[in-house]
Amino acid sequence: MFSKVVLALALVAGASARQMNIMDQYESASVEEKFAVWKVRFNKSYETPEEEANRFKVFKETVEFVARRRAEGAKSLGLTKFADVPKKEFEAAYLNYIPVRGNTDVSHIDVTQPTSDSTPASKDWRDAGAVTAVKDQGYCGSCWAFSATEQIESQYFLAGNTLTEFSPQQIVSCDTTDAGCNGGDSITAFDYVKSAGGLATEADYPYTSGARGVTGSCQSFTVAGGDVSGYTYATPACTSRKCDSQDEDTLIANIGSTAPASICVDASEWSAYSGGVFDGSCNSGYYQLDHCVQLIGYSGYSGSADSSSDGYYIVRNSWGSDWGEDGMIWLSMGSNACGVATEATFVTIA
């Protein structure tokens, strides 16, 4: 049985994560068999038997956690490529949003008004060519820099320029307000890019911090574009411990007519997200946010977020395309799921 399970998975190892929910396909398999299947699926190997034993212990705990949460109704959870990563290690290496706690007065920041009176039922900015390929921040808490970079890329394109892949490494290494692989905020990243006059391209200043989680020193660079003059909110922001009454209709209208948005969210259970509309646990309060990503669209809007029972947001993550829905996660409308509307921002291209 063991070898047949491994062989069966090896034949489909290239399938996307949502087609490979091991918890469903191998429900009756032992933990050891699930581990063997999972290693083939995600091309995992370990340098020593001791390391493999330690990672298997974490994997077993993850299987138990996912099984319990799925029994509670969280069917979108499964065994992802992070199933052997301990919780604290995951938080330090893949999350690390640090909100601008000392600057909670946001009254001076404008809220962009939607440019259309009619909000489409669905919008995906990939269809307009305004979104670059899914990125992978790797083993570095640089999500905030990736979210900022991706937002600048999209709005630079929408300002009439060629879609360009800019350098998150420049922000990670050169932004001295934030802390590189130890975390930061997309808002302060925008401030850095404004002070730097723009960004180098990814090709000229490639990303290197993801391999070992090292911030790196700032290198000389040539600005290729992406100069920003400021930023606005896509819907009124919240800096409270509870953000349960956010204006999602304005957010949706802005996403539908203006641009994608940089957002910061609570991604504490996203490590186990396998696909579909996320039904795991997360919070929406400002001080519970821990990850920054990009909101690139939505589906199923019926004129009110509260009444769009099947509506969901399309959120682009920076954990590679072998996670979630080809690198995306879908969040339900109407409840400020995971804080999708707590800190949503646009940039203004200079």
Query: Does position 3 have pLDDT exceeding 70, yes or no?
Result: no
Q: Facing residues of 291 across strands?
A: 265
Say what the pLDDT of residue 63 is: 97
Longest dimension (CA), the chain: 64
Mean pLDDT of the region 135-164: 98
Mean pLDDT of the region 215-221: 97
- 140, 291, 292, 338: the catalytic one is 291
- Lookup: tokens for 60: 């077993």
Average pLDDT, the chain: 92
Q: Which helix (H) or strand (E) holds 25?
A: helix 22-25
Residue 77, SS3? strand
Measure the CA dihedral 318/79/325/189, to 10°.
-20
The question of whether 317 is a catalytic residue gets the answer: yes
- 21, 140, 143, 238: the catalytic one is 143
Cα gap 135→157, rounded to integer Å: 17
pLDDT 10s digits, 80-117: 999 999 999 999 999 989 876 555 566 678 999 998 88
Query: Does position 12 have pLDDT exceeding 80, yes or no?
Result: no
pLDDT 10s digits, 37-71: 999 999 999 999 999 999 999 999 999 999 999 99
pLDDT 10s digits, 258-305: 999 999 999 999 999 999 999 999 999 999 999 999 999 999 999 999
Confidence of residue 27 (pLDDT cuts 50, 70, 90): confident
213 Cβ partners below 8 Å, 6+ apart? 93, 138, 139, 140, 141, 181
The per-residue b/e assignment along 126-164, b for 16 or more CB within 10 angstroms, e otherwise, is eebebbbebbbbbbbbbbbbbbbbbbbbbbbbbeeeeeb
Cα gap 331→300, rounded to integer Å: 12
Say what the pLDDT of residue 70 is: 95
The question of whether 143 is a catalytic residue gets the answer: yes
- 21, 254, 317, 336: the catalytic one is 317
Residue 299 zone, left/alpha/beta (φ > 0; ψ -120 to 50; rest): beta
Hey, what domains does the chain have and what are their CATH numbers? 2-79 (no CATH), 93-349 (3.90.70.10)
The answer to whether 189 touches 103, Cβ cutoff 8 Å, is no
The question of whether 108 is a catalytic residue gets the answer: no
Query: Does position 235 have pLDDT exceeding 60, yes or no?
Result: yes
